[in-house]
Amino acid sequence: MNDWPYPLWIAHRGAGRLAPENTLAAFRVGAGYGYRGFECDVKLSADGVPLLLHDDTLDRTTPERWLIHAATAATSSAITWALLTWIRVS
């Protein structure tokens, strides 16, 4: 394994429960703990803007229930980037 050019440990979605997952804050916290590789998931908003989100819906990661139910479906791909920028993550 001495020739392995990649990190042996990868921070899954950043820093676990120490910061909101898939955020720059999570990646910075993970880096502070020595992680040099990060796994994240990319989805597209309704208008084609890439965003970092693991789940298929926004239910688990945001308290913005009014926005989720105002959209045609509770998926990130049904909501435009302009609306997604107003969402708070938890």
Q: How buried is residue 72: exposed, middle or buried, by Cβ count under 10 Å (0-12/13-18/19+)?
A: exposed
Q: Which of 12, 23, 31, 71 is catalytic?
A: 12
SS3 state of residue 12: strand
Q: Which of 54, 71, 78, 81 is catalytic?
A: 54
- The answer to whether residue 54 is catalytic is yes
- The answer to whether residue 69 is catalytic is no
Nearest-angstrom CA–CA distance, 74 and 32: 34
Tell the residue number behind the tokens 């820093």, with chain if given. Answer: 15
Which residues carry out catalysis?
A: 12, 54
